[in-house]
């Protein structure tokens, strides 16, 4: 049995959660709650409210009032900078506590939480990055094109009430990627975290309450996608939807947005390639590719490169190293410093991943390692899957087409650069890619040819200030950078005549 998580819960003083609506911490209208089951141990962690559509309505109306009548949309830029910087400071101050709460949510090992892109340091940097934008959201002055003496100005105004929905795999980072630009732009927010990762988000919202942000500007409603999420995305008083999650739910968000012609940003899934040429450092390429698919979140990462396209001459060397990395995965309590990887978030995902692994074998891929639940009676209460490596995969197999969201890497051989490009782009998605090569000209050709939102050369990392998002069915819009902040604004054109009536 994996060591109980309850002593950590008690040490943190985590009790049942409440929702944040209009500055008050409240239960659901009907007092309904959801009990969170820890994915590594199967223990009940604590409860939180299941928002009814009436609760969501109250939260949206609070955000609407805070936007239409409250001071935040008109706050001086300096005031917004100060609030966002204070949030960043609070996140750094409470980093340890936030990481532990996240481990109680989704069992991300504390050892992995220290990796920059998963860390509270990254979360704080996202708030700092957007604090930097808050006083630089500017319009333009355009030359008059025709007519008499006049001026044309553009203004960037906050888009309004934002309905944000995030998944469970990186709740703190994804909260920041939505809330930071929304607040920096002067919007108000209703956010729904995943029912599988609620407690770290509630604590972060509590920290934000310690700042001078007016009540009603940030609201958090908890509970499952249906009804809480559905009520939020279809609420007519929401101006913009900002969603991170699966393609299937992203499509529902677009449908809901269509009803009110709402603004919409989507960060969806991927089936990203790691393209390994024979002139690359094959060992490093294999270690990093297999590592990102099996260590930490066990492949439950949107940008995970789960298709390794490997030059045929390098396949054997690649497989040998990748298999070795698979043996380094160690499962257990996320609080154990020796543990490297997480269980799958719930039994539904466990069944789905095991089903896709079985399909891979049925469709003719060669199983190199893994292929089922992780061994050991002590792991039986958690959703652990053995690191799985498939060779001889062809790009039309299910394991090469579907986002698995588990520790499964598919190795697909290629013979030419042209074939590598074709395979890399032969997917519905387009979120991320890495090109492994020592030839700089090849690297440049490949980065231009691959249809993906972020393409790394000989590595891949997330940066808090760089745009991140997807081509094609991986999403709409970007998080981070100018594009992100502008997506929380409306652009207004002002025509200003210099006529005699004007003083
Ligand atoms: P999901 O099932 O799409 O859920 C995402 C969020 O949507 C959760 O809060 C979920 O609530 C909510 N939801 C479900 N049904 C809804 C509905 N009808 N209306 C409104 N909200 C609804 O995704 P997931 O399984 O949690 O997360 C994994 C997916 O997220 C993967 O596809 C991954 O690639 C993607 N992802 C993308 C990025 C990126 O930046 N591109 C980052 C991380 C993850 P409940 O969970 O409470 O049901
Ligand atoms: Mg889901």
pLDDT per residue as tens digits for the range 55-108: 999 999 999 999 999 999 999 999 999 999 999 999 999 999 999 999 999 999
CA of 11 to the centre of ligand 1 (A): 30
H or E element in which residue 25 lies? strand 24-26
267 is catalytic: yes
For residues 340 and 57, give the distance between their C-alpha atoms in angstroms, rounded to a whole number.
Answer: 41
CA of 466 to the centre of ligand 2 (A): 27
Q: Please name which ligand lies nearest the alpha carbon of 269.
A: 1
pTM of the model: 0.98
Summarize pLDDT for 234-250 with one digit per residue, the tens.
999 999 999 999 999 99
Q: Select from 37, 49, 167 the residue to mutate for testing ligand 1; criterion: most ligand atoms less than 8 Å from CB.
A: 167
- Does the C-beta of 233 come closer than 6 Å to ligand 1? yes
Q: Which atom of ligand 1 is nearest to the CA of 474?
A: 41
Q: Which atom of ligand 1 is nearest to the CA of 302?
A: 34
CB atoms within 10 A of CB 372: 12
CB atoms within 10 A of CB 418: 10
- Does the C-beta of 284 come closer than 6 Å to ligand 1? no
Q: Of 230, 281, 275, 276, whose CA–CA distance to 256 is shortest?
A: 230
302 is catalytic: yes
CA of 22 to the centre of ligand 2 (A): 27
- The pLDDT, as a whole number, for residue 430 is 98
Contacts of 82 (CB under 8 A, 6+ apart): 212
Name the catalytic one among 267, 403, 479, 486.
267
Q: Select from 246, 300, 356 the residue to mutate for testing ligand 1; criterion: most ligand atoms less than 8 Å from CB.
A: 246
- The pLDDT, as a whole number, for residue 503 is 64
**How many Å from the N-terminal Cα to the C-terminal Cα in the chain?**
80
- The pLDDT, as a whole number, for residue 114 is 77
Q: Atom 19, ligand 1: which residue's CA is nearest?
A: 230
CA of 349 to the centre of ligand 2 (A): 9
CA of 160 to the centre of ligand 2 (A): 27
pLDDT in tens, the chain (503 residues): 899 999 999 999 999 999 999 999 999 999 999 999 999 999 999 999 999 999 999 999 999 999 999 999 999 999 999 999 999 999 999 999 999 999 999 999 999 877 899 899 999 999 999 999 999 999 999 988 888 888 999 999 999 999 999 999 999 999 999 999 999 999 999 999 999 999 999 999 999 999 999 999 999 999 999 999 999 999 999 999 999 999 999 999 999 999 999 999 999 999 999 999 999 999 999 999 999 999 999 999 999 999 999 999 999 999 999 999 999 999 999 999 999 999 999 999 999 999 999 999 999 999 999 999 998 888 988 999 999 999 999 999 999 999 999 999 999 999 999 999 999 999 999 999 999 999 999 999 999 999 999 999 999 999 999 999 999 999 999 999 999 999 999 999 999 988 777 66
- Does the C-beta of 171 come closer than 6 Å to ligand 1? no
Q: Is 29 helix (H, G, I), strand (E, B) or coil?
A: coil
Q: Is the Cβ–Cβ distance between 364 and 72 less than 8 Å? A: no
Q: Please name which ligand lies nearest the alpha carbon of 167.
A: 1
Residue 56, token pair as written in the block: 């969501």
Q: Cα–Cα–Cα angle for 451, 455, 458, nearest 5°?
A: 140
- Does the C-beta of 160 come closer than 6 Å to ligand 1? no
For residues 310 and 393, give the distance between their C-alpha atoms in angstroms, rounded to a whole number.
Answer: 11
CA of 223 to the centre of ligand 2 (A): 12
């Amino acid at each position: 049995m994996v060591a109980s998580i309850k002593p950590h819960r008690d040490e943190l003083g985590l009790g049942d959660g409440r929702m944040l609506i209009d500055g008050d911490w409240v239960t659901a209208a009907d007092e309904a709650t959801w009990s969170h089951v820890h994915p590594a141990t199967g223990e009940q962690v604590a409860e939180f409210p299941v928002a009814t559509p009436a609760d969501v309505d109250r939260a949206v109306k609070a955000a609407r009032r805070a936007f239409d009548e409250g001071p935040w949309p008109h706050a001086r830029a300096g005031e917004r900078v100060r609030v966002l910087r204070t949030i960043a400071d609070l996140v750094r101050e409470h980093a340890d506590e936030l990481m532990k709460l996240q481990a109680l949510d989704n069992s991300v090992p504390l050892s992995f939480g220290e990796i920059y892109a998963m860390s509270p340091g990254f979360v704080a940097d996202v708030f700092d990055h957007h604090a930097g934008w808050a006083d630089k959201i500017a319009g333009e002055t355009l030359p008059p094109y025709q007519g008499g003496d006049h001026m044309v100005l553009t203004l960037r105004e906050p888009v309004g009430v934002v309905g944000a929905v995030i998944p469970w795999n990186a709740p703190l980072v994804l909260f920041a990627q939505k809330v930071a630009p929304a607040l920096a732009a002067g919007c108000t927010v209703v956010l729904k975290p995943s029912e599988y990762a609620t407690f770290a988000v509630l604590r972060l919202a509590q920290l934000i309450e310690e700042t001078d942000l007016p009540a009603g500007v940030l609201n958090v409603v908890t509970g499952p996608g249906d009804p809480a999420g559905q009520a939020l995305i279809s609420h007519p008083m929401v101006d913009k939807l900002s969603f991170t999650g699966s393609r299937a739910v992203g499509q529902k968000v677009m449908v809901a947005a269509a009803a009110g012609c709402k603004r919409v940003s989507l960060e969806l899934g991927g089936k990203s390639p790691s393209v390994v040429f024979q002139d690359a450092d094959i060992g490093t390429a294999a270690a990093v590719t297999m590592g990102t698919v099996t260590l930490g979140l066990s492949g439950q990462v949107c940008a995970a490169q789960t298709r390794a396209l490997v030059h045929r001459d390098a396949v054997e060397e690649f497989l040998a190293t990748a298999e070795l990395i698979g043996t380094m995965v160690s499962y257990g309590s996320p609080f154990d410093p020796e543990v490297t990887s997480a269980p799958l978030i719930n039994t539904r995902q466990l069944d789905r991943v095991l089903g896709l692994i079985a399909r891979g074998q049925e469709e003719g891929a060669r199983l190199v390692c893994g292929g089922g639940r992780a061994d050991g009676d002590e792991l039986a209460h958690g959703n652990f899957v053995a690191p799985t490596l498939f060779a001889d995969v062809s790009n039309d197999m299910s394991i090469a087409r579907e986002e698995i969201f588990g520790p499964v890497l598919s190795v697909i051989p290629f013979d030419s650069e042209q074939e590598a490009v074709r395979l890399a782009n032969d997917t519905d998605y387009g979120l991320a890619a890495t090109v492994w090569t020592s030839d700089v000209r090849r690297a440049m050709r490949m980065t231009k040819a691959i249809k993906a939102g972020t393409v790394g050369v000989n590595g891949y990392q997330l940066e808090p200030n760089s745009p991140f998002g997807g081509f094609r069915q991986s999403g709409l819009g970007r998080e981070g950078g100018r594009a992100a902040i502008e997506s929380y604004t409306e652009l207004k054109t002002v025509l200003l005549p210099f006529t005699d009536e004007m003083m």
